[in-house]
Amino acid sequence: MAAKKEKSGAGAATWLAIITIVALMATWAVISPEYLLKSLTVEREFSVSLGGQAADQWIYGEMISSSLEQARGMPGSFKDTGTMPTALRNWAHEHIITTWLWASLILYRANMLLLYFFILMPFIAVIAMDGFWVKQISTYRFSSQSPIRHRFGVILSTWTAIGTCIWAVLPVPIPSVVAPLAITSIGFATWTWLANLQKRI
């Protein structure tokens, strides 16, 4: 029964990944640079409202330093399209810029996640240690750990990671509260997983 559940869970995750990739490719084919630039601007506004101007400046600075490396290869990409028909060449030029802006948005969110990880790292460390000691103390008690709660912690951490990856690549503006919520959720999942590890005699 457990093997069937694990197999069905793996199958669902695989199908979700395939659907996400196909949807992203279809979106990339039709999305415009103007829309992505607007998304990045709104994303920065969300970030300022949550973490303040200083947080946004750090995130944006890290994004720029990485995206400039990618921008250096754009002139060569433009030259490679020189032999294409005019309509196709214009589409290719537009989507070279689209790819760069989308990558910049992903970098912005990745750096935001990194910033909030550093901010919330003491909380994650404390809650993980608490879960570990709850498990250690339980070894001296006549009580059993909950395999259901342990599995819930594993499932929560897995789906939080999947959800965070989807959030990072979506080209629509999303409130920045997702980043600290994801870190907090991972911390809670870690505590649940550690506190309910099965005893070893």
Average pLDDT over residues 71-83: 70
What ranges do the domains of the chain cover?
31-195
**CA atoms of 181 and 9, how far apart (whole Å):** 24
Over 50: is that where the pLDDT of 201 sits? no
Over 60: is that where the pLDDT of 55 sits? yes
Q: Label residue 52 left, alpha or beta by phi (over 0 means left) and psi (-120 to 50 means alpha).
A: left
Q: Encode 101-121 in three state secondary structure.
A: HHHHHHHHHHHHHHHHHHHHH
**CA atoms of 158 and 12, how far apart (whole Å):** 13
Burial of 19 (0-12, 13-18, 19+ CB in 10 A): exposed
pLDDT of 6 reads 53
Report whether 39 contacts 106 (CB < 8 A): no
Average pLDDT over residues 105-133: 90
Give residue 3's pLDDT band: very low, low, confident or very high (50, 70, 90).
very low
Location of structure tokens 């992203």: 24
Task: Considering only CA atoms, give the Rg of the chain.
Answer: 22
Among residues 111, 96, 110, 114, the alpha carbon closest in space to that of 36 is found at 96
Residue-averaged pLDDT of the chain: 83
Over 90: is that where the pLDDT of 96 sits? no
pLDDT in tens, 136-183: 777 766 666 667 777 888 888 888 998 999 899 999 999 989 999 999
Give residue 46's pLDDT band: very low, low, confident or very high (50, 70, 90).
very high
Q: Which two tokens stand for residue 5?
A: 């559940």
More confident residue, 126 or 12: 126
pLDDT of 131 reads 82
pLDDT of 137 reads 76
Give residue 58's pLDDT band: very low, low, confident or very high (50, 70, 90).
very high
> CA–CA distance from 103 to each of 67, 121, 169 (Å)?
8, 26, 8
More confident residue, 172 or 194: 172
Show the CA angle centred on residue 179, arms to residues 187 and 133, nearest 5°. Answer: 10
Among residues 43, 177, 164, the alpha carbon closest in space to that of 116 is found at 177
Please tell me the number of Cα atoms within 13 Å of 107 on its side-chain side.
19
